[in-house]
Copies of this chain bind each other. A is one copy, B any other.
Amino acid sequence: MGVSLTASQALRLWQQVNLAEVHDDAPDLSERQMAILLTIYLDPPPHTVRGLAAKLGVTKPVITRALDTMGSKKLVSRHRDEADRRNVLVKRTVDGALYVERLGDVIIAKAAELPL
């Protein structure tokens, strides 16, 4: 099980994908924002501010601010939980799904180009 990579392949893949993202002037997300975005799109809901903070090992304001920024870019959206109005549920958006899908395509393409 799993995918085998050499050190050279692993780092080259990381470089190529980051270069591609910078070049396509996609939103310049920080590592934290990327981790949040992918967690929302890959892990099963519901996603709360507190839950995301715990999963990333950061404080709540970090999550709130990241959601502010990514929300203004339409990558995620926030909704009050009507069952417990203290909670905020973080949900996917069309633009966010497109961003993630495109990122996946880039990773696959760059992995396919790796030398043996």
A interface vs B, CB < 8 Å? 1-7, 9-15, 17-19, 21-23, 25, 28-32, 34-35, 38-39, 41-42, 55-58, 100-101, 103-105, 107-108, 111-116
Contact = CB atoms under 8 A, between A and B. Distances in A.
Given A1-B116, A35-B18, A13 B107 contact: yes
Instruction: Say whether chain A's binding surface is mostly helix, strand, loop, or mixed.
Output: helix
A100 B8 CA distance: 11
Contact of A31 (B1, B9, B18, B38): B18
A10 B57 contact: no
Contacts of A105: 7
A2 B114 contact: yes
